[in-house]
Amino acid sequence: MDYKQKARDFVENDKPFHLGFLPTEQANPLTAGMDEVFARSAADGVRMLQRVDRNVLEMARRVFASQAFGTLVECGLQTIRNGGRIIFSGCGATGRLSILLEAMWRRYAGETWADRVESIMTGGDFALIKSVESFEDFAVYGARQVAERKMAPPDILVAITEGGETSSVLGSLAEATRRGCRAFLLFNNPAGILREHLERSREAIDNPLVTVLDLACGSMALAGSTRMQATTSEQLIAASALDRILGRLRGETGTVDYAGCFENLLTSLEAPETVALMADYMQFECGIYRDGGRITYYADDYLLDIFTDTTERSPTFMLPGFKKITDQVRPEPWAFVRNPLLPTPAAIMRALGDREPRCLEWTAADYAGMVGEDAPVVRNMPEITRQDLLQIPVGNEPLPSRSATGRDAAVLFCFATAAPELEQAYGREAAAFAYTRRLSVPFTPAATAMRIFEHLAVKLMFNTISTGTMVLFGRVAGNWMSYVAVSNKKLIDRAIRLISDLGKVPYPRAAEALFQAIEELERMPEDQEKPSPVQYTLALLKR
């Protein structure tokens, strides 16, 4: 099938993945002209991004007061008391959030209840490191992962999908309820819009075993980048539910004003000294990239939080992804994260909350049984096993490639001050780098059972910094991701809409040009950093 046929097939037959009508896929008027604002003042750019986070606060007040949130807490509490599990399911950013929620619970709940919360990430735990191409398009993959977790009552599933339409996540939801389990569905678009336009969403919302938490909070600060306000809202609501459940299990009678704590967190992040800190740091990081250098973050307790942000930069801004230590072909990641205290296997286990990774060990026969013998995945199986994950060098093994250019930076992340052992280990690693830097949260967030506002502070700071850095570097047009990858059908649609808008051509013509560009880019050598499909396509249209 040539590129013209592929484009025609996508336009005519993949309409369920044409999602431009969803608020989470549209541009936010609060950040119109963001690239120009950052060009004038990085601090003004930070404040522009932060304005959109205030929309999450409005949503939070509504949801925390809702019957659905109360039901989630009560049902989760009874599930754990009855020996069941709360299992979170997500894909991409929400999959990484699911893993983080499990890790936070395991770290703060103690041995008695540690195993009562689990996570399902579409593509398995390897997808924490790198998105598994096109897996989110298949409901059967999510269903298979639920089956492998042997879900049965009194287990409950909490499915998280920013758009409310991710096929793999909805597949996990359908399988859990088919097994008789109670389920909750969290998403960030108005339920009415989803029910009207998408059959797969309507089926999930109308399922009598499903309780819906509509977390709609408007469009993202960076158009379509649901790793920002969408997952912030999901992390706030889901983590607060777990926090309240843990408090109840411990016999605590007081209640935390989670919305009020979140408002205080936003206010602290908006303080002039915090804005100046982030603006200064993103200019530093942008300067490293302009000089051809690379950034390596060092952390311990918050390694997983930073992991999430650095992983998601790859598809969002078309940056080289994490690679195996044995890979001498692919380019180095622009941003990487390591724990200088532990070797890679132990560092990964610690990040996961002291548990073994749960990766997919599926065979060609497994894939053929799910999606058919002719599916591309059968001929070219993804390398996403546990062994593949352990080859990503996030521990303290020697890794001279991270400081090889003579223009690279080692950045230590911590709250206030680092533990002495982390400080010493970082010092040993940093000696090889041309530049060193400290990045810390300059205030103390509200204390809760699971320290949820510390983790939210890290997320919000890194979302702002990584986005602002890429705006300064020129990888954002207006408030659109003009360097977005096209690794699944949702991203293909997003790229086509952007090309149509910027290139002033109809959607079908933009689709044809994009598929032509994809075909040409696939012929590029693996050791080269590939250009943005959107930018490449716009150049094709000009030719």
pLDDT tens, residue by residue, 288-341: 999 999 999 999 999 999 999 999 998 889 899 999 999 989 999 999 999 999
Residue of 453, 54, 394, 502 lying closest to 240 (CA atoms):
453
φ/ψ of 507, rounded to 5, equals -55, -45
Q: Which range has the worst mean pLDDT, 188-192, 204-208, 536-540? A: 536-540
Per-residue model confidence (pLDDT) at position 528: 79
The Cβ of residue 249 has, within 10 Å, a number of other Cβ atoms equal to 18
Q: Residue 130: which residues within 8 A CB-CB, separation 6 or more?
A: 311, 314, 321, 322
pLDDT score recorded for residue 297: 98
Residue 133: its pLDDT value, please?
A: 73
pLDDT band at 362 (very low <50, low <70, confident <90, very high): very high
What is the per-residue pLDDT across 66-125, written as a single tens digit (0 to 9) for each? Answer: 999 999 999 999 999 999 999 999 999 999 999 999 999 999 999 999 999 999 999 999
Percent of the chain predicted with pLDDT > 70: 100
DSSP string, 495-507: HHHHHHHHHT--H
Query: pLDDT digits over 524-533, tens only?
Result: 887 777 788 9
Lowest mean pLDDT among 29-33, 236-240, 299-303, 539-543: 539-543
CATH number for the region 34-473 comes to 3.40.50.10490
pTM metric for this prediction: 0.94
The ranges assigned to domains in the chain are: 3-27+480-542, 34-473
| Predicted confidence band of residue 131 (pLDDT cuts 50, 70, 90) | confident
Mean pLDDT of 510-522: 93
State residue 109's pLDDT score.
96
**Across the chain, what does the average pLDDT equal?**
95
Judge whether 509 and 3 are in contact, CB under 8 Å: no
